[in-house]
């Protein structure tokens, strides 16, 4: 009987200790988050690594985020509008009714569908899923295009052949306009340089002339 009471007492004490520890941990986390806001050190909230091109913004989360809301297309375009002005594979393409079915495979009208920041997925300076292209183009490596037989799902990017936002080189118009161009760019070589010296030996160092304007 005494042993049963001891066991019951031990169980209640363990439960109380667990509750106290849980409350203490919660209070510590609240204090940490409050300190982060007070000291403007919101980097503690980062869920993962920032892509290379966005490291600069880690010091100011408000550059991209409004509170804890998701990043909007307008935010992305505030920096990238100029470079995407000629994007033939962007939102305008998917607003064409001919490609409406592709929007059911991937929400291509939203930047963060492909570029999910703080989730390191692919080492090219932008966070992309390696097999991103396969959402619409899987048939190309599965028999639709003989030249791509045996290619891997991530080969579009890793092989350095294709760029989602600049795919002019795979358009028939671009190929026709550049049929007369050489298959490879010429190999760049450094020109020979001739250096004529006027002094045979190096002058003796004089620290009094090097520092303090020679006044010492």
Residues 45-56: pLDDT tens digits?
A: 677 778 777 877
**4 and 53 share one domain:** no
Q: What pLDDT score does 45 carry?
A: 67
Query: Could you report the per-residue pLDDT of 102-160, keeping only the tens digit for each?
Result: 888 888 888 888 888 887 666 555 677 778 889 888 999 999 988 888 898 888 877 77
The rounded distance, in Å, linking the Cα atoms of 137 and 162 is 12
**37 and 52 share one domain:** no
Whether 34 is in a domain gets the answer yes
Range of the domain at 34: 1-41
**99 and 132 share one domain:** yes
Cβ neighbour number for residue 189 with a 10 Å cutoff: 6
Query: Could you report the per-residue pLDDT of 182-193, keeping only the tens digit for each?
Result: 877 777 777 788
Nearest to 141 by CA among 163, 127, 159: 159
For residue 5, what are the CA distances in angstroms to 12, 13, 14, 17, 19? Answer: 11, 12, 14, 18, 21
Whether 214 is in a domain gets the answer no
Whether 195 is in a domain gets the answer no
Whether 198 is in a domain gets the answer no
Show Cβ contacts of residue 58 under 8 Å, excluding neighbours closer than 6 positions.
Answer: 43, 46, 50
């Amino acid at each position: 009987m005494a042993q049963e009471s001891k066991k019951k007492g031990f169980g209640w004490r363990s439960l109380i200790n667990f509750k106290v520890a849980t409350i203490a941990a919660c209070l510590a986390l609240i204090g940490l988050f409050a300190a982060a806001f007070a000291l403007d050190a919101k980097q503690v909230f980062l869920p993962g690594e920032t892509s290379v091109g966005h490291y600069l913004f880690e010091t100011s989360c408000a550059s991209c985020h409004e509170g804890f809301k998701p990043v909007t297309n307008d935010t992305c375009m505030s920096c990238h509008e100029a470079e995407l002005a000629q994007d033939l594979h962007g939102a305008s393409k998917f607003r064409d009714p001919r490609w409406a079915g592709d929007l059911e495979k991937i929400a291509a009208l939203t930047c963060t569908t492909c570029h999910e920041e703080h989730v390191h997925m692919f080492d090219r300076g932008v966070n992309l899923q390696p097999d991103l292209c396969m959402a619409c183009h899987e048939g190309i490596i599965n028999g639709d295009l003989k030249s791509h037989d045996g290619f891997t799902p991530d080969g579009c990017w890793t092989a350095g052949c294709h760029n989602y936002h600049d795919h002019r080189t795979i358009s028939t118009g671009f190929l026709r306009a550049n049929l007369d161009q050489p298959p490879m760019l010429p190999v760049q070589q450094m020109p020979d340089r001739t250096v004529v010296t006027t002094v045979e030996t190096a002058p003796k160092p004089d620290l009094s002339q090097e520092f303090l304007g020679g006044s010492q």
